[in-house]
Structure 1
């Protein structure tokens, strides 16, 4: 049974490090949540480490720039681990070939193809039309408001050719302000359902947690899983991923699941229990919003 808490500080002194989701927890895709920022700053003042672990397809430098624009100050976190960096490492080691068909919004996602210094001999990557591709790199849909099914014809062709799809963001949907948008995970799910092979690098899959661990190591920290708390609003990404890593988690019920959990300031206990049972996840704690 999850414990509903009033503030992060109720439990944060039990943990040396936090793995914190961004969208729906620290910001809404437009602006920062001031209470969430203050909670993270307070944890760091007490000596805790904050690792932002996000399914953004951006490199971490791009996320840091985005956060500044949203009003999230640099003193609210120590380091960033992105699914984009994890997926880029796979791409530059040839996971889906050298000639790739790119799916996403190029102006937003161009940095995905920037050089990755940690790869000593990167595979040369060239963007090509689907008919010439050896694999697919998916940072998101071309149109985040369009039903993923519009890609069915291209996916049927890709599956027939045996192309692998590298998914740089396993999230299915995200709320940008009051607008819900499709993410790369929705496309990868469709491709998999059609019989194609999708490769995932963000939550809940292990590669991004390996990256988060390396980020901690780079800070000179060797922190056991028992001293890490994962925070997020995605039942099948943040919470399921934490469970797979044997990490305690704090579920933000007022994010993606606000309607299902009847969350205003706090979730309705019965609705919360029903939702968590339906999703088959068991966070150690739940809070309406990060504060």
Structure 2
């Protein structure tokens, strides 16, 4: 049975590092959560390493700029690893060919130009990636919707059908289906990839819950001076991404119930009801190690 805990401090001394999700845990896209910031500061104060592990389709530099804009202090974290970073590695390796068609927003443009130090060195050794029209492409790179404030996956049905007819594989830079920005729920790249697969297309994933992002996170943690065999706790509000991914990696997990699934576990978001939580998790056939209303 998943144990409901009151705060991250309850686990003091048990973990060398946390892999912590961003949206729904540390911020909502508009505002940082002070209690979550305090929890991460407290974890680092005891010697733990904080790895911010996000399915954002942009490279880590873009995410760091967003965190700065939200006034998340840089001493609340050690490392940022994004689905965009892991997907960039896949793209550079030619996973969907060298001529690609991009589906995504203007804000995602850095995906093609802004590489972290470790990826930039790799990019320099690889043939160039060229962006082309859909009919000329070897594959599709999907970072999200062009306008996630107004569009839905239905707006992309014609383009996806053409891609499937042409037999193009899709690289999905963000496996998340939806994310909450303030009080508005937005579709992510994962929703388009899901629709593409339902049509019979092939989608490749690099973010949570898939292995590439965890491999990259472990490598960067080791490079930052983490222990050789760290005890890691995965924190997140996405049951099929953060929690399923952590469990698949053999890691302990902390499910934040007050995020995407906030309306399921009773009227008090800060204090999920054990019976409702257990019933819902039974239906998902997943058992996080711990649960908490909001990260604190």
TM-score, normalising length from structure 2?
Answer: 0.95
Counterpart Cα distance in 1 of 2:80 and 2:177: 21
Matches within 5 A, 1:258-269: 258-262=262-266, 263-269=268-274
Q: Which residue of 2 aligns with 1:273?
A: 278
| TM superposition shift of 1:97 | 1.3
| TM superposition shift of 1:278 | 2.0
Segment drifting more, 170-179 vs 268-277: 268-277
Counterpart Cα distance in 1 of 2:225 and 2:11: 24
CA RMSD of aligned residues (A): 1.2
Measured against aligned partners, the alpha-carbon deviations of 1:233-278 in whole angstroms (never above 9, x if no partner) come to 0000000000100000000000000012235211122221122122
Counterpart Cα distance in 1 of 2:126 and 2:89: 9
Q: Secondary structure at the match of 1:203?
A: coil
* 1:123 aligned residue (115, 120, 127): 127
Q: Secondary structure at the match of 2:51?
A: strand
Q: Which residue of 2 aligns with 1:133?
A: 137
Counterpart Cα distance in 2 of 1:118 and 1:244: 30
Counterpart Cα distance in 2 of 1:66 and 1:43: 22
Q: Which residue of 2 aligns with 1:150?
A: 155
Gaps of 5+ in 2: none
Measured against aligned partners, the alpha-carbon deviations of 1:47-83 in whole angstroms (never above 9, x if no partner) come to 0000011101111111111101011110000011111
* 1:253 aligned residue (254, 257, 272): 257
Counterpart Cα distance in 2 of 1:58 and 1:150: 22
Matches within 5 A, 1:208-287: 208-224=213-229, 227-262=231-266, 263-287=268-292
Given that 2:19 and 2:53 are in contact with CA atoms closer than 8 Å, whether structure 1 keeps it comes out as yes
Given that 1:15 and 1:48 are in contact with CA atoms closer than 8 Å, whether structure 2 keeps it comes out as yes
Task: Say how many residue pairs are matched.
Answer: 289
Q: Which residue of 2 aligns with 1:24?
A: 24
Q: Which residue of 2 aligns with 1:8?
A: 8
Measured against aligned partners, the alpha-carbon deviations of 1:124-154 in whole angstroms (never above 9, x if no partner) come to 1122111111110000012324221222221
Measured against aligned partners, the alpha-carbon deviations of 1:146-192 in whole angstroms (never above 9, x if no partner) come to 22122222112111111010000000000000000000001111111
Measured against aligned partners, the alpha-carbon deviations of 1:180-232 in whole angstroms (never above 9, x if no partner) come to 0000001111111111110000000000000000111111223436x110000
Counterpart Cα distance in 2 of 1:230 and 1:6: 16
| Moved >3 Å (runs of 4+) | none
Gaps of 5+ in 1: none
